[in-house]
Amino acid sequence: MPSYRGRQEAEVGAPPQACFDALTDYERLPEWQRAVKHARVVEHADGHDVVEYEVDAKLTTLKYRLKQCYEEPSLIDSEYVDGALRSMSGRWTFEPRPGGRTLAAVEISVDPGRWVPGPIKHAIEDALLKRAIDDLRERVER
């Protein structure tokens, strides 16, 4: 089965901690992440959370759970638990830049478990990568 990988990065006008805090405030993600329709923590432990997501990928809605592991404030690693996909992993990194800025990057690897037509693949990539980083920039620069 095909697996899809992607990476997106952007420099944002806020420190790494602001980026980290925005992305780990899961219940508020639907307020500002356009693709996220629902997010809630279903398990909390030291150094990680299991989060249930519902994501609008334009042509389809994806429901899944990820184990989010942290190295605050520089890293959020995502490990697939279960859901509509065969597998998924992701990583957010936040590198400090001069002037209180951050180089934020998001990487994903997704195996939907079946062939996905090009338009749906691009919609998923847009939702999980480009829109995610654009929305983060807008949120932390406010």
Domain ranges of the chain: 4-141
Residue scoring higher pLDDT (1 or 106): 106
Contact status, residue 86 vs residue 112, Cβ threshold 8 Å: yes
Q: What is the CATH code of the structural domain delimited by 4-141?
A: 3.30.530.20
Q: Which residues, at least 6 apart from 98, have a Cβ–Cβ distance to it below 8 Å?
A: none
Contact status, residue 75 vs residue 94, Cβ threshold 8 Å: yes
Residue 1 has pLDDT above 50, yes or no: no
Instruction: Kindly state the percentage of the chain with pLDDT values over 90.
Output: 65
Residue 119 has pLDDT above 90, yes or no: no
Whether pTM exceeds 0.95: no
Number of Cβ within a 10 Å radius of residue 23: 20
**Using one digit for the tens of pLDDT, what is the confidence trace for 24-70?**
999 999 999 998 999 999 999 988 999 999 988 777 788 999 999 99
- Provide mean pLDDT across the span 122-129: 70
pLDDT score recorded for residue 2: 55
Confidence class for position 14, pLDDT limits 50, 70, 90: very high
pLDDT score recorded for residue 127: 65
